[in-house]
Amino acid sequence: MGSSIPQWRYSSEDNLDAAYGLAVDEMLTHSVAQTDSSPILHLYSFKPSVIVGRYQDLEAGIRLERCRELGIEYNRRITGGGTVIMGPGQLALGLAVPLERLGVKSYVKAILAMFGDIIIDGLGRVGVEARFRPKNDIEVGGKKIAGLAVSIEEDDVLLFQMSLLLDFDTPLMLELLDLPAEKLSDKAISCFSERMTTIQAELGRPVAMDSVKKVILRAFEEGLAVNFTPSQFTKWEGQEITKLMKKRYCSPHWWFSVKHPAKRTGYAHKKTPEGLLQVYLSLSGGVIESLLITGDFFSSSRDINRIESALRWSATDEKSLEKNLEKVVGDNAVCGIDLSSLRETITAAKENYCLAKEDR
């Protein structure tokens, strides 16, 4: 007899508060890791919200006062990547699944490309021809239509997240975000409407959220060779959502947990194929006293913390930096950001710190 098709769970919701939606996605990983739950897919939409990546400075990237004036929520997700505007015209997706179930290693590039192919298949089912653009975008004719994010959580449970544009309010985005020049300069395009598209724009007609959910669900079933069964959250899962909202997503401590240093520091950045890498550091007696690595790349917090801890109170000459980075990171630095990029950016931050000190 042939093997049976794996039965996974899915839940569909709409118009969610940012804190609740993000707590649900994190809960999915806890349920899969800590209970006997099968993998879970969460398809949903948010109330109007601005959501930053795990390693971004919320205050540096968003016009918070304008968000408050407009009643737009803001929050931080546990996956990396850049800032997104979410609302009723954007489909959000969260999937928690053990890495071993996917048959891939924990290489972010491969995981994003695999899920990207599934999203592309789903878009094709509604008549939109798309392709994957590294590191984490789906595009149509050179215009972004979806963004992908991923993190590896406890017990090697993967959390994959996606935002897909059915419709989009570009003027509102420009009003809310304080965007760095690095995000605009690749093709010298100043108008964001020329860099983004939506399903409705591509088809020339309105598209119902439910119909898009159905084709994306079917694409995931065929792409992963599984069946998804509608499922309500269990009592334990509901309690876990409430706990995560209280502990993290309703807490200003979490929202503002990444801050660019206010004290005098050296700063440098580098735009790599894997994302914008930003380094802040200060020196004491020729060694690194403090170090902060941020940006819109993808990594686990454990990786970042390990790098920062290993380099703190270490020498900053090129040989010492290279030796220490190789010791703690290995060949696959910050999920694809190579050792030379890390070393060069840290060295540039050190030089900028020294120049600022001389100018005092």
Q: Where are the domains of the chain?
A: 7-255, 266-359
Token duo for residue 64 = 């918070």
Architecture of domain 266-359: 2-Layer Sandwich (3.30)
CATH of domain 7-255: 3.30.930.10
CB-count exposure of residue 280 (10 Å: 0-12, 13-18, 19+): buried
Listed as own residue / partner, the contacts of 332-336 with beta carbons closer than 8 Å and 24 or more positions apart are: 332/107, 334/274, 334/277, 334/293, 334/297, 334/299, 334/303, 334/304, 334/307, 335/80, 335/108, 335/274, 335/297, 335/298, 335/299, 335/303, 336/108, 336/109, 336/135, 336/272, 336/273, 336/274, 336/297, 336/298
Instruction: List strands edge to edge, sheet with 287-295.
Output: 266-272, 275-284, 287-295
- Please provide the distance, in angstroms rounded to a whole number, between the alpha carbons at the two ends of the chain: 78
What's residue 174's pLDDT? 77
User: Distance between CA atoms of 314 and 289, rounded to whole angstroms?
Assistant: 8
For the chain, residues with pLDDT lower than 70 are 1-3, 105-106, 179-193, 260-264, 285, 297-302, 305, 330-337, 356-360
What's residue 184's pLDDT? 44
Task: Assign 44 to helix, strand or coil.
Answer: strand
Digit-coded pLDDT (tens) for 187-209? 433 456 677 899 999 999 999 99
What's residue 108's pLDDT? 76
Find out whether 43 and 21 touch, Cβ atoms under 8 Å. no
What's residue 223's pLDDT? 97
